[in-house]
Structure 1
Amino acid sequence: MIYLDYAATTPMSDAALQTFLHASKQYFGNEQSLHDIGSNASVLLNVCRQTLANLFGGKEQGVYFTSGGSEANYLALHSLIIAHQHKGKHIITTPIEHASIRNYFHELTKKGFTVTYVPVDKHGIVLIQELQKAIRPDTILASIQHGNSEIGTIQDIRAIGHLLREHDILFHTDCVQTFGKIPIHVQDMCIDSLSISAHKLYGPKGVGACYINPRVRWQPIFTGTSHEGGFRPGTVNVPGIAAFLTAAQDVIEAQTKETTRLYTLRDFFLQGLTNITHPIHIEGHPSASLPHIAAARIQGIEGQYTMLACNRHGIAISVGSACQIGKQEPSKTLLAVGRTAEEAKQYIRFSFGKHTTKEELKTTLHILQTMIDEYKGVVSQ
């Protein structure tokens, strides 16, 4: 099968798998235990913490390992907001954030918080002037994603971070889709908090990380928690974290070369879509876009139909964030960039990875043309 859903998840790399097996056998101890076996696991965990911090210009004291990106988003935001709510109860975000953030902020409104959704343009870019206007004296935090998982648009995080820093507003950014794909430096970008996930970069599922600037105060959600400095309860998954770091180091080392390769594949594929004899609309920003995501709408054909047809032909694609599949709702990102509900339901996403080849994309383009011709034939009967 041709797999074009890398933005949803990636297969574990051989190196990450070997690290997981080795760490599971040699570093199986609870890193909180005081005996040597526990101490060995603790040493490995601290090495992973320092290594990860170095990959995005942070400090090891600010790295907290989690079960994934969604939990990292929730724990970071909640820990920061409850620690700073005495300053105000106004939050800024966008309508195109990941469901984990959007749902959490919805819950906050039930507790007396006010959330302002800064609009985006037709390509999904946050309007800086609108962000500026949204800032209030009681604004304590803004959460704006680095790269959108549905249309691939990249935000100017550095400009956003510096603006928020000038107003003493905490800045959290969801970097799940960008870490390992494009450079991230928390100090240069004025990022106070970020979230990342292992399974988006050939690491294991169930592992992620949150970074909070050690200079920023946060409050534990669960009192009495000893793991991860009180940030998260539960025995730490040291083997999974070690595998995560193996995968992360590998993708960062290959980032420049692989990003160039993916952009070349993406350009080839998007050009191929425009050559199909049926109106296809490309979504996302024409230049500020992630290298591994190609989003489109096939006019008059629902994305769900296209996805199922591709699956029948041995091609795996997506119709949106895997966290929202099955909710029978049009993409909130597509609605936010000005598409109608009907147009939003036509959305499909192709996402590429290190195993994607040009030949696979040629086959996919051929299948799409065949599928469209078959659909037209059925509809015209």
Structure 2
Amino acid sequence: MIYLDSAATTPMRTEALEAYVQTAGTAYGNTHSLHDAGSEAAQYVTSCRKLWGQMLGVRKEGIYFTGNASEGNQLAIRSLLRGRPAACRKIVTTKLEHASVLVTLHELEKEGYRIDYVPVDRFGVIDLEQFQQAVDNETALVVMQLVNSEVGAVQPVEECVRIAGQWNIPVHSDVVQGFGKMAVNVGELGVASAVCSAHKIGGPKGVGIVSIDPSVHWESVYEGTTHQQGFRAGTVDVPGIVAATIAAKYALAEQPQAFDKARALQQYLIAQLPEGMLLMGDPDTKSPFIQGLVLPHVEGQWMMLACNRQNIAISTGTACKIGSGEAMSAMSAIGLESDVARKFVRVSFHAGTTESEVDSFLDVVKESLNQFSSVT
């Protein structure tokens, strides 16, 4: 299988898998149990929390582990909102957020919050002037993803934090597609909360990592919960957390080289694109790991299936959005008409992606273009 869908998930690193198996066999205690087995398991989690604090550039006291990044987004947003003044009922964001965020925002709108979606340009980057106009003393929270999942647009989160800070408004950022791939320091971004995902960087599925600045007031969504200071209910997955931490350490160590390789692959892809095939986003500023492409002739779903028949994995957008219409919403936000947006596909790179694999994908595209031309 030629795997060009790493923005959806990545295979577990050997080191992470080995760490999972070893930890599962030794640290099997419940971290809330008072006996030695529980204490040993708790120590593993404490050590991982410290390492994540170092890797993200934040205080370890603000690190929490969830069942996935989607849950992390939902809990962080709702926990921060519960800590805000009752008079603040507006949330400022964009329509390019991850599905887990957009679903939460739709729910909050039904609960009486006003959602203000800041426009983005054709590259998927927000208009900072309109963002500045959107935030005011009624704003409860700013939600701003660092790297978009469809086209790889990188938002000026640090500048958003500066603007929001003039009103003492906390900012939540989903950094899932950035951490381990780009140089990301959550502490330097200055956000109140951020979310990472283990399975995007060679860790296990089922582990999300949340950072909440301990100096920012938040309140638990689950009243009476004692796990993780009340942030999330339930026994933590110790082997998963250890494996996620090991994967993150390797991803960060390889990050500069992986980024340069992804940038070179992006340039190679652009140079080889067939006539009429468009790259979405600004190649000079977006994440080189994510390549959103618009086909000139067929719908993305058709191309995805054609590639799959050739043992090539690509996608038609964020896996969490497939079937929900949100991918189409994202394309609409950057100015694509619905008939054009349906011709969208996404290929995404990982550290092992090669030029020959990119060639194989483009060969399928070129063959379909030739077939289309002969028919028309």
TM-score, normalised to structure 2's length? 0.98
**Aligned match of 1:284:** 281
- CA RMSD, 1 decimal: 1.2
- Helix, strand or coil: the match of 2:221? coil
Distance 1:19 1:371 in 2: 44
**Aligned match of 1:333:** 330
**Aligned match of 1:344:** 341
Task: Say which is worse superposed, 133-142 or 12-21, in terms of deviation.
Answer: 133-142
Sequence identity, in percent?
A: 38
**Aligned match of 1:163:** 163
Match of 1:364 among 355, 358, 361: 361
Distance 1:101 1:329 in 2: 11
CA contact (8 A) 1:19 1:246 kept: yes
**Aligned match of 1:60:** 60
CA contact (8 A) 2:99 2:326 kept: no
CA contact (8 A) 2:317 2:345 kept: yes
**Aligned match of 2:73:** 73
Change (3 A) 1:168 1:330: closer
**Aligned match of 1:178:** 178
- What are the residue-to-residue correspondences of 1:52-131 with 2, within 5 Å? 52-131=52-131
Distance 1:20 1:294 in 2: 32
Distance 1:227 1:130 in 2: 40
- Helix, strand or coil: the match of 1:254? helix
**Aligned match of 1:208:** 208
1:329 Cα deviation (Å)? 6.6
CA contact (8 A) 2:262 2:289 kept: yes
- What are the residue-to-residue correspondences of 1:224-373 with 2, within 5 Å? 224-273=224-273, 276=274, 278-327=275-324, 331-373=328-370
1:330 Cα deviation (Å)? 5.5
- Helix, strand or coil: the match of 2:183? coil
1:375 matched to 2:334: no
**Aligned match of 1:190:** 190
- Helix, strand or coil: the match of 2:181? coil
CA contact (8 A) 2:136 2:167 kept: no
Distance 2:372 2:154 in 1: 34
Deviations 1:354-379 (A, max 9, x none): 2211111122222211122123334x
Paired residues, what number? Answer: 376
Distance 2:374 2:167 in 1: 58
1:186 Cα deviation (Å)? 2.5
Distance 1:26 1:258 in 2: 33
1:87 Cα deviation (Å)? 4.2
CA contact (8 A) 1:165 1:190 kept: no
Change (3 A) 1:330 1:95: closer
CA contact (8 A) 1:162 1:189 kept: no
CA contact (8 A) 1:148 1:154 kept: yes
Distance 1:180 1:299 in 2: 33
Distance 1:372 1:162 in 2: 47
Change (3 A) 1:130 1:69: same
Task: Say which is worse superposed, 7-16 or 78-87, in terms of deviation.
Answer: 78-87
1:299 alignment partner AA: P
Distance 1:169 1:184 in 2: 21
In structure 1, the gaps of 5 or more residues are: none
Deviations 1:92-148 (A, max 9, x none): 010111111111111111111111000000100011100001012211210010000
Distance 1:80 1:328 in 2: 28
Distance 2:329 2:118 in 1: 14
- Helix, strand or coil: the match of 2:346? strand
2:131 alignment partner AA: L
**Aligned match of 2:16:** 16
Distance 2:252 2:33 in 1: 32
CA contact (8 A) 2:119 2:127 kept: yes
1:6 Cα deviation (Å)? 0.2
- Helix, strand or coil: the match of 1:130? helix
CA contact (8 A) 1:181 1:291 kept: no
- Helix, strand or coil: the match of 1:173? strand
CA contact (8 A) 2:317 2:327 kept: no
- Helix, strand or coil: the match of 1:86? coil
Distance 1:112 1:367 in 2: 48
